[in-house]
Amino acid sequence: SATAVVWQLRAEFGELRRELDAKAKELARVQGELDGARRALDGRRGEVEAERQRVEQLRRDLDDTRRRETNAGARATRVAELERAIAEREAALAARSREMEGLRASVARLESESRDQRERLERLRQQTATSGTGPVIQILQPELRTMRDGKSIRASVAVDRPVVVGRVTSEMELVTFTVNDRAEKLLANNVFRTEITLARPEETVRIVAIDRQGRRSGLDFVLAREPRAAPAASAASEPPVGLPRPASAAAFGTYHALVIGNNDYKLLRPLKTAVADAREVARVLEQDYGFRVRLLLNASRYDMLAALNDLREKLTEKDNLLIYYAGHGELDDRNQRGHWLPIDAEPSSTANWISNVAITDVLNAMTVQQLLVVADSCYAGTMTRSSLGRLEGGLSEGERLRLLSLMAHQRSRMVMTSGGVEPVLDSTGGSHSAFAHAFLSVLRTNVGVLPGQELFGHLRLRVASVADRVQMRQVPEYAPIKYAGHESGDFVFVRMN
């Protein structure tokens, strides 16, 4: 929420202020040491000069004694005394000179340190002046949907001239507030209300706020005109799918699932439905299909990789594994490699991203019989290779079950993705993403045995229909995983309850 963002910015500003105070104290300490060193140096200069004058006086006394003293014995005694005194004074002078040189070096060091501290303090003052809590823009109407690439924001509207309502939160007075480069006035409580004309099916809205310290905040999103939708079919009217469960269902093996849902990203835009999607998928797999499910919510890179490696070590060729991931995805433009993003991922660094190659390496090392990755994230399509063959039409129910049983005993490595190499919808206004809603609907209507390819056929039509209604292109994919050891066959869902 905007309030949470403001509190976060205030905390960051407070931290900068504390650092500024600490630097000011450090500068004062260095300056104090410098002033003390300068006073000590001035004192040593006076002592050295006084010592030098005493040495000069002793040398003059020595010269006078040598000229005037007529008694040889007295002259020799006096000369020896003066030479000893001169040697002592010269030693003292040398010691004072060394002390003075040391003080000069200390003064030079402290002057350099003082300059550095002043420069750091000035930089920090400038940073503090331009940081603080800048304006925060919040859209109240229409509801914005975040795409799973974490970057794209959209809203669907049913009219050609929709009204956008929002609020700007700012600690300082705003000097500029514009919507699509047009100045707008703020109402009470810094609320704004502006009408957008949709000359095309989609229009980009750009909102900019600048406060009197020059701190700028911007928000870009897309308004899409939705077509008039036909009434949606109710869940109860959806036809059943799959084949009746045979008596020998146990022959398909033991089913396991790792289900991951990431909403609460630390440095990326949070998602709305990934956690709810993961929870419901885990529930359906466990209660309706008898899967042994491990559920990870808001997982870090370590959590995700540790869970994958744990499954790699424990599962055998008698097991089947489904991995479901809902969360942000990202594409590395340089090598066109897709990544899953854990909650500790950083937008500017790939250090905590998990590449599809790393995931594939773990999957390739697994000995499980059937393996299916279901990825509801952006750019998940980079995991797939060539398409999958289909069962021939015209087969009897018994023959299809026999072939599915044979397929279930082949080493299969399949991936079902919510889209290809493009952003995908996080929410269409409900509690689940378009992909998760379709995936769950097909699982619920399965009467017994359902191959992954058939599930995908039903799912693809439902997702495409929803995406079309909100002016989005989202085409799910289903294929063997590249380089993961796929041989043949398909992942087979067997409903137990």
pLDDT by residue for the chain (497 residues), tens only, comes to 444 444 555 565 666 667 767 777 777 787 888 788 778 778 777 887 887 888 788 888 878 877 777 777 777 887 788 788 888 878 878 887 887 788 778 778 877 887 887 787 777 666 655 555 678 888 877 877 766 655 567 888 777 888 888 889 887 889 999 999 999 988 877 888 898 988 888 899 999 999 888 888 889 998 888 765 444 444 445 678 877 877 666 778 899 999 999 999 998 888 888 999 999 999 999 999 999 999 999 999 999 999 999 999 999 999 999 999 999 988 776 766 789 999 999 988 889 999 988 898 898 899 999 999 999 886 555 554 444 444 444 455 555 555 556 555 677 888 998 876 555 555 555 678 889 999 999 999 999 889 998 899 889 888 877 766 655 667 788 888 876 666 677 899 999 87
Q: Is the peptide bond before 244 cis (omega within 30 degrees of 0)?
A: no
Residues 116, 140 within the same domain: no
Beta-bridge partner residues of 218 = 208
R_g (Cα) of the chain, nearest Å: 39
- The CATH code of the domain that includes 66 is 1.10.287
Q: In this structure, what CATH number is given to the domain that contains residue 186? A: 2.60.40.10
To which residue do tokens 């077509």 refer?
A: 227
Distance (Å, rounded) from C-alpha 79 to C-alpha 21? 64
- Give all strands of the β-sheet with 153-157 in edge-to-edge order: 145-146, 153-157, 216-225, 202-211, 174-179, 182-183
| Coil, helix or strand at residue 181 | coil
Block residue for tokens 């800048």: 134
Residues 142 and 122 reside in one and the same domain: no
Residue from 369, 248, 268 nearest 315 by CA = 369
The residue among 354, 333, 350 whose CA lies nearest residue 342 is 354
Q: How many structural domains are present in the chain?
A: 3
User: 206 near 180, Cβ under 8 Å?
Assistant: yes
Domain holding 489: CATH number?
A: 3.40.50.1460
Residues 146 and 67 in one domain: no
Domain that residue 207 falls in: 136-225
Last residue of a domain, one of 72, 98, 130: 130
Q: Give residue 257's pLDDT.
A: 98
Shared domain for 414 and 483, answered yes or no, is yes
The confidence score (pLDDT) of residue 352 equals 93
103 and 142 in a single domain? The answer is no
Phi, psi of 230 (to 5 degrees): -75, 150
The verdict on 172 and 272 lying in the same domain is no
Does some domain include residue 242?
no
How far CA 58 is from CA of 78, 82, 380, in Å, comes to 11, 6, 94
Asked if the structure places residue 236 within a domain, the reply is no
The answer to whether position 243 is within a domain reads: no
The one-character DSSP state at 317 is: T
How far, CA to CA in Å, does 276 sit from each of 147, 339, 340? 16, 21, 18
pLDDT attached to residue 2? 42
Looking up tokens 């466990």, which residue turns up?
Answer: 286
> Rounded CA gap, 168 and 174, in Å?
9
Residue 232 lies inside a defined structural domain of this protein = no
Residue 10 pairs in a beta bridge with none
pLDDT of residue 388: 45
Whether this prediction's pTM lies above 0.75 is answered by: no
Same-domain pairing of 172 and 319 = no
Residues 181 and 117 in one domain: no
Q: Which of residues 86, 103, 130 is at a domain's end?
A: 130
Q: Is residue 44 part of a domain?
A: yes
Q: Is 146 helix (H, G, I), strand (E, B) or coil?
A: strand
Q: Return d(Cα 214, Cα 291) in angstroms, integer.
A: 56
First to last CA, the chain: 41
Quick one: 81 and 218 in the same domain? no
* Structural domain includes residue 331: yes
From 97, 115, 130, give the residue that closes a domain: 130
Give dist(CA 264, CA 298) in Å, integer: 6
Q: Is residue 450 part of a domain?
A: yes
Gap between the Cα atoms of 6 and 120, Å rounded: 27
Give the pLDDT of residue 299: 96
Q: Residue 304's pLDDT is what?
A: 96
Residue 44, helix vs strand vs coil:
helix
Name the burial class of residue 188, with classes exposed (0-12), middle (13-18) and buried (19+) by CB atoms within 10 angstroms of its CB: exposed
Least Cα distance to 259 among 280, 282, 285 occurs for 282
The partner residues of 492 in beta bridges, in order of sequence, read 451
Q: Is 483 left (phi over 0), alpha (psi -120 to 50) or beta?
A: left
Considering the domain architecture, whether residues 436 and 342 belong to the same structural domain is answered as yes
- Residues 170 and 310 reside in one and the same domain: no
Element (H, E) at 57: helix 2-68
In a shared domain, residues 330 and 256: yes
Flag whether 179 is in a domain. yes
